[in-house]
Amino acid sequence: MLYRSTGPYPDLATAVAITDISPLDGSSFLPEDSIISAVANYAVLYQLATHHDDPARLSDMLKKAEPRYPAVYSFWEQRIGPNEDQTAKAWTKQDSEWNPVAHLEQTERLKFPFSSIKIDLLALDPQGSSMQGPPTIFTTLEVPSLAWAIGHGGTHMMVGPNGANWTARKRGDEAVRLMKANGGSDYDVEEALCLLMQAKMSIAFGATAKDLRSSDRLF
C-alpha cells in the first residue's frame, strides 16, 4: 500500500481520490518552486515544470491531476489554508516572545548569515526542507514550534556555505572521513546537527518534552 502525502488530513484521500494518478518515482522540487514562484494559476505550473528534471513526466502528472485541482482547492480553502494561517499567527507570536535565531546563535556560537527568512507553511509537505537563495524554510505544520523549524533549517543556513561553511573548518575533513567510513556522507554530518538542534531549540522554548530522544523513534 502506498501512502499519499495527506499530512494531518487523512480524509483528503477520500474527499478527492487520486489513486489513478501515479506518484513521481523520485522527489521533485516543483512543489517548492510553485510557492517560491508565487504561482497564481494552474497553467503556470506547466511552464514551471519545464525547468525541472524529467519535465515530460511532470507535465503528464499535471495533466492528469488538473481536473482534481478545483476539488482539492475547495478542501484546502476550508481546512488547510486556515490552519496554515493559524500557524503563521502562532509562530509570529512565538518569534516576538522568544527569539529563536538569537538562541541558535548563542548555542552554536555562530552568526546567523541572513537578515530575513521566508517560511513557507506547507501542510502536505511530508518532510520539510530549506534553501539559501533566498533564505527559505519549507515546513509542515506538524512540527511543534517555530523554534523547531528554525533549529533545523536555520542550522543548515548557519553552518552552510553562506555561514560558517563547516566543511572548510578545522577538523571538518575528519568529521567527513568518519561519516563516510560508516556509510554516510558529508551531508549526514550537517543533518545530524540539524536534527539535534531542532529538538534542542524546541525544548529550550518549551514546546517539546525535555527528555525527547529522536533516536528512540527510529526503530
Q: Is 130 in the site for another protein (CB under 8 A)?
A: no
Q: Which residue has the cell 488538473?
A: 66
Q: Is 114 in the site for another protein (CB under 8 A)?
A: yes
Cβ atoms of residues 122 and 179 within 8 Å: no
Number of chain residues interacting with another protein (CB under 8 A): 103
Q: Per CB under 8 A, which of residues 133..172 are in contact with another protein? A: 140, 142-144, 146, 159, 164, 166, 169, 171-172
Using CA atoms, how far apart are residues 188 and 48, in angstroms rounded to an integer? 30
Cβ atoms of residues 137 and 117 within 8 Å: yes
Q: Per CB under 8 A, which of residues 13..32 are in contact with another protein? A: 18, 21, 23-24, 27-28, 30-32
Per-position x/- string for 68-107, each x denoting binding to another protein as judged by CB under 8 A, each - no binding? xx--xx--xx--xx--xx-xx--xx--x--xx-xxx-xxx
Q: Is 119 in the site for another protein (CB under 8 A)?
A: yes
Q: What angle do CA 80, 83, 85 make, to 5 degrees?
A: 110
Min dist CB 165 to another protein, Å, is 11
Min dist CB 56 to another protein, Å, is 14
Name 21's Cβ contacts closer than 8 Å, sequence gap at least 6.
61, 64, 65, 68
Min dist CB 168 to another protein, Å, is 12
Per the document, the length of the chain is: 219
Per-position x/- string for 173-212, each x denoting binding to another protein as judged by CB under 8 A, each - no binding? --x--xx--xxx---xxxxxx-xx---x--xxxx---x--
CA distances 64 to 7, 19, 138, Å, are 22, 11, 26
Using CA atoms, how far apart are residues 196 and 62, in angstroms rounded to an integer? 37
